Amino acid sequence: MIYQIYPRSFQDSDADGVGDLAGIESRLDYLAELGIDAIWLSPIYPSPMADFGYDIADYCEIDPMFGDLAGFDRLLAAVHGRGLRLLLDFVPNHSSDQHPWFVESRSSRENVKRDWYIWRDPAPDEGPPNNWISDFGGSSWQWDESTGQYYLHAFLKSQPDLNWRKPEVREAMMAVLRFWFDRGVDGFRIDVLWHIIKAEGLPDNPINAYWTPDRTQRDRLIQLYSTDQPEAHAISAEFRALADSYGDRLLIGEICLPNDRLARWYGTPDRLQVHLPFNFQLIENAWDAASLRRTIVAYEESVPWFGWPNWVIGSHDAPRIAARVGEAQARIAAMLLLTLRGTPTLYQGDEIGIGEVQIAPDRMRDPQHLRQPGLGIGRDRSRTPIPWDESANAGFSTVDPWLPLNQDWQSRNVAAQDRSSNSLLCLYRSLLTLRRSHDALAIGDFTLVDAADEVLAYQRRHTDECLMIALNLGDKTRPLTLPTDTCVAEVLCSTLAERPMDDTLAPNEGVVLRLREKR
Ligand code: TEU
């Protein structure tokens, strides 16, 4: 299992209200005990923090807010010392406008780095070169007065897009990957991988006829020419070749596309791309058994035979799972995430079920929200600090944290859940232990099983072991139907403290059962 750490909000060690590397190091025992395999760190590089680290000013350094390279090496050694892996966030699509490459690029039209970024003359009407809209709202083009051209930015104007058609850019970025691989990093999550190349000629994107004003400005257009270009797949294959040259390293692609197009990012058997194109469908899917069933089957069918599936249920960009499905179903979500076939990614804080967090308007920091208020797309609510215990500032910091804590932190914190054997945290630990001790869960086949309404049921099989998972997505008691000629050999886990001793599922109950043939 991959555990995503949002470094600003994990643990502060130097009393500035923002988390840091030494803080993470001090909490590694917690992660090891939870039973994770790898940590993915959101960006820790020098950054003006306009997009909280996704605007990078130096790809090969650590922001002083988080520590320094020596501290990073210590953290990496400590992670490895516990038998865990460390993945970094690689942000190839754009840099910060403070990156020396961009500073040079915008200095004059003749600068050697001018076309390291995407500069264009205005359209005949003096407006932007095309109709593209930034993910954070407004035109994707920013006018530069002193050199009389526009530059492209898929996100903030302080995040100019790099020009991946330029060989020098590719070489510089490959050197970045080598820098971290040489230090011993186990892999990368690659930010907006499907964005990195734009269609030749930068044609206008088509209008989305289904757009309504409750959706983001970005969705006014279909991102046909600005994303998912064939040339980006070639670059993805180059990343993989480099990673493979180092041996056992992992590449995850952050890619938001439908199944058929997502699957292409695995590459082909003779030219592999990323190991795991992130699968965000559990984040987006309606929370009901029938549609989850369809989603899971369609995704399973789309994964090529040489590829390995993965599931993500939360992130620093998405609403909290517990806020979305509620306290009772957050336990079902945990069981689903950890029993599906494929690598699960868990976002920090979801293991204690942090739900909706109220953030006063004057404390909101996310540029996505601040630029398009009123749409409910703010990401701050998923980025609040981890409440560790009942002490001041929840043990996260000795000072007021950069974002407020979850309102219920005095009861919902790691220490409290550690003490209560019935907590969500303990359920996560049990499920992770189960996953480790049963190959059927870790690597077994997946088959859907017929089930009552509102129940999602499937089997996982490996050699002679057959496990069945049954999840009651509703709040009524439901029959627990076993496949013909089988009976329960053992109840390996229930999401509830007391499981009814009959062939039913209690409201909001999920179970992992070991089946055997009836004799
Ligand atoms: O996110 C890319 C991305 O797809 C987001 O725009 C997403 O659609 C949105 O946040 C959903 O609410 C990555 C990072 O994860 C995000 O934090 C960055 O802001 C973004 O790239 C730019 O680097």
DSSP characters over 462-511? ETTEEEEEEEE-SSS-EE-PPPTTEEEEEEEEESSSS--SSSEE-TT-EE
The Å distance, Cα 374 to ligand 1 centre, comes to: 18
pLDDT in tens for each of the 519 residues of the chain? Answer: 999 999 999 999 999 999 999 999 999 999 999 999 999 999 999 999 999 999 999 999 999 999 999 999 999 999 999 999 999 999 999 999 999 999 999 999 999 999 999 999 999 999 999 999 999 999 999 999 999 999 999 999 999 999 999 999 999 999 999 999 999 999 999 999 999 999 999 999 999 999 999 999 999 999 999 999 999 999 999 999 999 999 999 999 999 999 999 999 999 999 999 999 999 999 999 999 999 999 999 999 999 999 999 999 999 999 999 999 999 999 999 999 999 999 999 999 999 999 999 999 999 999 999 999 999 999 999 999 999 999 999 999 999 999 999 999 999 999 999 999 999 999 999 999 999 999 999 999 999 999 999 999 999 999 999 999 999 999 999 999 999 999 999 999 999 988 877 789 999 999 999 999 988
Tokens of 374: 């009123």
DSSP assignment letter at 205: P
Give burial (CB, 10 Å; 0-12/13-18/19+) of 400. Answer: exposed
Tokens of 403: 């974002």
Partner residues linked to 455 by β-bridges:
472
- In the residue annotation, 254 being an active-site residue is answered as yes
CA gap 200, 130 in Å, rounded: 13
Q: Residue 502: what pLDDT? A: 77
Q: Which atom in ligand 1 lies closest to the alpha carbon of residue 318?
A: 12
The 3-state DSSP class for residue 449 equals strand
Q: Give me the catalytic one of 12, 89, 97, 254.
A: 254
Which residues, 6+ apart, have CB-to-CB distance to 393 below 8 Å? 385, 399, 400, 401, 405
Residue 430: CB atoms within 10 Å: 20
Q: Give the residue from 476, 456, 424 showing the smallest Cα distance to 287.
A: 456
DSSP assignment letter at 208: -
- In the residue annotation, 33 being an active-site residue is answered as no
Q: Which atom in ligand 1 lies closest to the alpha carbon of residue 377?
A: 12
Q: Give me the catalytic one of 161, 191, 228, 351.
A: 191
The Å distance, Cα 317 to ligand 1 centre, comes to: 6
Is residue 323 lining ligand 1, measured as CB closer than 6 Å? no
Q: Whose CA is nearest to atom 23 of ligand 1?
A: 54
Is residue 54 lining ligand 1, measured as CB closer than 6 Å? yes
Q: Give the residue from 306, 260, 350 showing the smallest Cα distance to 1.
A: 350
Q: Is the pTM of this model over 0.85?
A: yes
The Å distance, Cα 379 to ligand 1 centre, comes to: 10
The Å distance, Cα 417 to ligand 1 centre, comes to: 31
Q: Where are the alpha helices (DSSP H) in 162-254?
A: 167-183, 230-245
Q: Give the residue from 329, 281, 249 showing the smallest Cα distance to 508.
A: 329
What does each C-alpha distance from 400 to 18, 25, 46, 405 come to in angstroms?
A: 9, 21, 23, 9
275-278, Cβ contacts within 8 angstroms, sequence gap of 24 or more:
275/187, 275/240, 275/250, 275/251, 275/308, 276/250, 276/251, 276/252, 276/308, 276/310, 276/343, 277/193, 277/252, 277/253, 277/310, 278/189, 278/252, 278/253, 278/254, 278/310, 278/312, 278/345
The Å distance, Cα 118 to ligand 1 centre, comes to: 20
Annotate 79-124 with three-state secondary structure: HHHCCCEEEEEECCCECCCCCHHHHHHCCCCCCCCHHHECEECCCC
Longest dimension (CA), the chain: 83
Residue 42: CB atoms within 10 Å: 24
Q: Which atom in ligand 1 lies closest to the alpha carbon of residue 55?
A: 23
Which residues, 6+ apart, have CB-to-CB distance to 468 below 8 Å? 449, 457, 458, 459, 460, 482, 483, 486, 512, 513, 515
Q: Give the residue from 333, 309, 346 showing the smallest Cα distance to 36.
A: 346
Tokens of 152: 């492209």
Q: Where are the alpha helices (DSSP H) in 194-287?
A: 230-245, 259-263, 281-284
9, 44, 90, 135: which to mutate for ligand 1, most atoms within 8 A of CB?
135
Q: Residue 498: what pLDDT? A: 87
Tokens of 58: 């130096």
Which residues, 6+ apart, have CB-to-CB distance to 472 below 8 Å? 332, 454, 455, 478, 505, 506, 507, 508, 509, 510
Q: Residue 500: what pLDDT? A: 76
What does each C-alpha distance from 519 to 335, 450, 459, 469, 485 come to in angstroms?
A: 30, 22, 20, 22, 8
Is residue 89 lining ligand 1, measured as CB closer than 6 Å? no
The Å distance, Cα 51 to ligand 1 centre, comes to: 9
Q: Residue 74: what pLDDT? A: 98
Is residue 194 lining ligand 1, measured as CB closer than 6 Å? no
DSSP assignment letter at 327: H
CA gap 42, 49 in Å, rounded: 12
Question: Looking at this protein, which amino acid is placed at residue 183?
Answer: R
**What's the residue count for the chain?**
519
Contact 264, 297 (CB under 8 A): no
Dihedrals phi, psi of 86, to nearest 5 degrees: -125, 125
